[in-house]
Amino acid sequence: MPADLYGRFASSFSRFADRPLIDTGECTYTYDEIEHTAARLAARLIAIGLAPGERLLVQTAKSVEALILYIACVRAGAIYLPLNVDYTEAELAYFVGDAEPVLAICDPERVVLFERIGAPAVRTLAQLFADLPEITAVSVPRAADDIAAILYTSGTTGKPKGAMLTNANLVSNGETLIDIWRFTPEDRLIHMLPIFHVHGLFVAMHCVLFSGACAIFLPKFASDPAIRHMENASVMMGVPTFYTRLLADAAFTREVAAPMRLFVSGSAPLSADIHRAFEDRTGHRVLERYGMTETGMLASNPYEGERRAGFVGPPLPGVELRIAEFETGEVLPQGEVGIVEARGPNIFKGYWRNPEKTASEFRADGFFITGDMGVIDERGYLQLVGREKDLIITGGLNVYPAEVEALLDDRADIAEAAVIGVPHPDFGEAVVAVVQAGEGFDEAVVASALRHDLAGFKCPKAIIAVPELPRNTMGKIQKKLLRERYADLFATAGA
């Protein structure tokens, strides 16, 4: 198989030309139709001035056109840079300044914003697709090590980092997944994930594209359409929130789930309780897997064999996982808890324009330090037990407390803040800010200011004022105590 990403797409476009690739419920598009439109769009991108290796920044609502834009960008040899649709002006200004894209694609209501922050050549999807030329661009050859995409991931310092994913990273991971999850051209995947994220774009859509399958391509998750489409589907991928909401719907029964062959969960830990409840309701054991923006998928419970609740399975074929002592890098014996480290063809090239950070995240022998704490049992299954840094995963999206804390600590009405993640029945974890209030503190004012500066998923679901934050003898805030204290804050929250 080709080592370049578009070459891999082209193989499927040729083999499965007449088969359906996208089904929106209203329209169906074949592999050939998607390829032809992407080829014409690639010609337009090149005419606008997008050259191989340059960045195309995209912040748009999920649509078939947005997916075609991704394929066209890869065909043109450019670097695809998708952004969460919830990012605010301040966040977008940082991304534009750091990535220096040649072209920015956004929704109509954000054109003025993008122009204001200095984005070049701003277009909407409608403008990009209007009167596409009949000429089709010849795909631009790319080497295996060339960057295909940059995805920004939040940093513990508050500054997001651009993870550079190569053609070989994405091809190798996609090939592995369609093999271990048994994807075939007969599969129909219920796709309700966003496509600015590794899960929805590189896991779900690459599994479809590489295998000749069809994606039932829906704007977002809702239990009603998910249940309705299961009659003619075979696979569903989702974050744990999807599964908790399905279980909360009385219409989701064993009979509804019977036509499905596989339910996959990722982007956040799936609780053992939900895992067991799902099996009791449907007879299906959810297949949980583990990955990161920087690595794609690293481990997966088996398609055939024991899918263990609370575990993310053994490493994928070709991927090495080990547990090490974080500070020294000493590899720990089986059964001991430590930092999870990974090596394989799927591991990213490094952080965009940040060689120091890249160097600090790799061991001398090439293992990437994930930041997740885990343990590998006697059967080789990985269990994640926490995070070395206080990453919060809410609804499948990553939030680093430092980014939120920096905004809170900068306020005159807050002496100091600690941002933590606490259990939430719907989102897995909820962002909570515990603050030592200063003069004039008003929770509503603080919450409003955060909504202005942060994407919605990063904003605290609760802001709790306390007289004093708990500290250890070294003066460090004891977040563990805060997490324990507020663990039941959302215990009665509805799905």
pLDDT average, residue stretch 432-441:
94
pLDDT one-digit tens code per residue, 144-185 = 999 999 999 865 455 899 999 999 999 999 999 999 999 999
Reported as type and span, the H/E element at residue 107 is none
The answer to whether residue 474 scores a pLDDT higher than 80 is no
Q: For residue 107, which of 28, 38, 182, 196 has the smallest C-alpha distance? A: 196
Local confidence band at 495 (pLDDT 50, 70, 90 cut-offs): very low
CB-based contacts of 78, cutoff 8 Å, min separation 6: 45, 50, 51, 52, 53, 54, 55, 56, 102
Backbone phi and psi for residue 491, each to the nearest 5 degrees, phi listed first: -60, -30
- Sign for the CA dihedral angle at 479, 481, 484, 487 comes to negative
Can you tell me which residue has the tokens 């249940």? Answer: 227
Q: For residue 263, which of 250, 244, 248 has the smallest C-alpha distance? A: 244
The answer to whether residue 402 scores a pLDDT higher than 90 is no
The answer to whether residue 320 scores a pLDDT higher than 60 is yes
Reported as type and span, the H/E element at residue 210 is helix 206-211
Which pLDDT score is estimated for 132? Answer: 96
Which pLDDT score is estimated for 157? Answer: 52
Q: Which domains does the chain have, with CATH numbers?
A: 5-199 (3.40.50.12780), 221-387 (3.40.50.12780), 392-485 (3.30.300.30)
Six-digit token string for 293? 């923006």
Alpha carbon of residue 213 to chain centroid? 21
Instruction: Please give the sequence-ordered ranges of beta strands (E in DSSP) within 357-469, or none if there are none.
Output: 368-376, 382-387, 392-394, 397-399, 414-424, 428-437, 462-466
Q: For residue 239, which of 266, 274, 263, 277 has the smallest C-alpha distance? A: 266
Q: For residue 81, which of 64, 63, 106, 111 has the smallest C-alpha distance? A: 106
71 contacts 5 by C-beta, under 8 angstroms: no
Which pLDDT score is estimated for 158? Answer: 59
Which pLDDT score is estimated for 1? Answer: 67
Q: For residue 438, which of 461, 403, 411 has the smallest C-alpha distance? A: 411
pLDDT one-digit tens code per residue, 16-54 = 999 999 999 999 999 999 999 999 999 999 999 999 999
The fraction of the chain above a pLDDT of 90, given in percent, is 86
Which pLDDT score is estimated for 475? Answer: 62
> Cβ–Cβ contacts within 10 Å for residue 330, how many?
9
pLDDT one-digit tens code per residue, 240-289 = 889 999 999 999 999 999 999 999 999 888 888 889 999 999 999 999 99
